Amino acid sequence: MAEKIALVESFLSCHVCSETFRDPVSLGCNHSFCSSCLQTFWEQSKNKNCPICKRKSSKDPVGNFALKELSDSFAERQKAGSSETEKGEKKVEVVCSKHPEEPRLFCMDEERAVCPF
């Protein structure tokens, strides 16, 4: 179980700050970073190359809302998991008041999790 969490965490981590993504953006090369981390990196390096593959970014970074939702959900679960061991209870994010299911779908237009039913 710990290996699976570590694997998920590695996919949801910024390669600049090594933390779970905060306000993630993606470059044309499909690498993603925290928006503020990428801006700081670019200011310090005085160019707009990808920190991983060094490819020049000709366009502004695009907000990655699906990655944001996944990162936020992962961070909430991690936080709930640590308080769960302290309190012995489980927190579940509810998207729909009619169907108390965990979110599984993400609407790109509305930029939020949606009820699958």
Whether 52 and 31 have beta carbons less than 8 Å apart is answered as yes
Query: Which whole number is the average pLDDT over 75-79?
Result: 80
Whether 24 and 34 have beta carbons less than 8 Å apart is answered as yes
Strand blocks (E) in 14-115: 24-26, 32-34, 62-63, 105-107, 112-114
What is the pLDDT, as a whole number, of residue 102?
66
DSSP one-letter string for 73-94: HHHHHHHHHHHHHHHS------
- % pLDDT > 90, the chain: 44
Q: Which domains does the chain have, with CATH numbers?
A: 2-90 (3.30.40.10)
What lies within 8 Å, CB to CB, of 110 at 6+ separation is none
Phi-psi region of 42 (alpha: psi -120 to 50; beta: other; left: phi over 0): alpha
Query: Which whole number is the average pLDDT over 31-44?
Result: 95
Radius of gyration of the chain (CA): 17
Query: Which whole number is the average pLDDT over 35-44?
Result: 95
